[in-house]
Copies of this chain bind each other. A is one copy, B any other.
Amino acid sequence: MRIGELAARAGTTTRTLRYYESRGLLPARRGSNGYRTYDEDDLKLLRQIRTLQDIGFDLEETRPFVECLRAGHPEGDACPASLAVYRRKLDELDALIGELQTVRAQIGVRLATAGGEPPLCELGGREL
């Protein structure tokens, strides 16, 4: 299949596919007319990339998964390198979620105490 069909079947754009190719992530064979040619396996690779991207993985982080599939494994996360990315991502997420919760709490307090609160009040309910 050609680039337009692959893009459509993966729910993305031709621009995106050419970008992935430029990054060496999803190289394409070429037909006699110079057109890019893809097969069902490429679709599977592309869907793996897109799934991870949608979840919030950087493009580079999807590379181990793609290489894992290309190595013949039925799942992109069957390889150690992929699992390592999972673990790094878990740590990152935990750190980020923790920070965000801290910030959330800070704002919550500021929202509760800001706006002319009485100096001697101990604890109050929501004012709004």
What bracket does the count of chain A residues touching chain B fall in?
A: 20 to 34
Known: A93-B104, A100-B96, A100-B100. A114 touches B77 (CB 8 A): yes
CB distance from A34 to the nearest CB of B (A): 39
Considering the chains assembled together, what is the distance between the CA atoms of A89 and B111 in angstroms? Answer: 11
- Of B55, B75, B110, the contact of A86 (CB 8 Å cutoff): B110
Whether a CB of chain B sits under 8 angstroms from the CB of A78 is yes
List residues of chain B with CB within 8 A of the CB of A100. 56, 93, 96-97, 100
Instruction: Say how many copies of this protein the assembly contains.
Output: 2
- Of B89, B93, B96, B107, the contact of A90 (CB 8 Å cutoff): B107
Known: A100-B96, A103-B93. A77 touches B110 (CB 8 A): yes
Q: Which residue of B lies closest to A77 (CB)?
A: B114
Whether a CB of chain B sits under 8 angstroms from the CB of A2 is no
- Of B83, B94, B106, the contact of A114 (CB 8 Å cutoff): B83
Docked-complex contact B55 and A114, CB < 8 angstroms: no
Whether a CB of chain B sits under 8 angstroms from the CB of A15 is no
List residues of chain B with CB within 8 A of the CB of A97. 97, 100-101, 104
Whether a CB of chain B sits under 8 angstroms from the CB of A31 is no
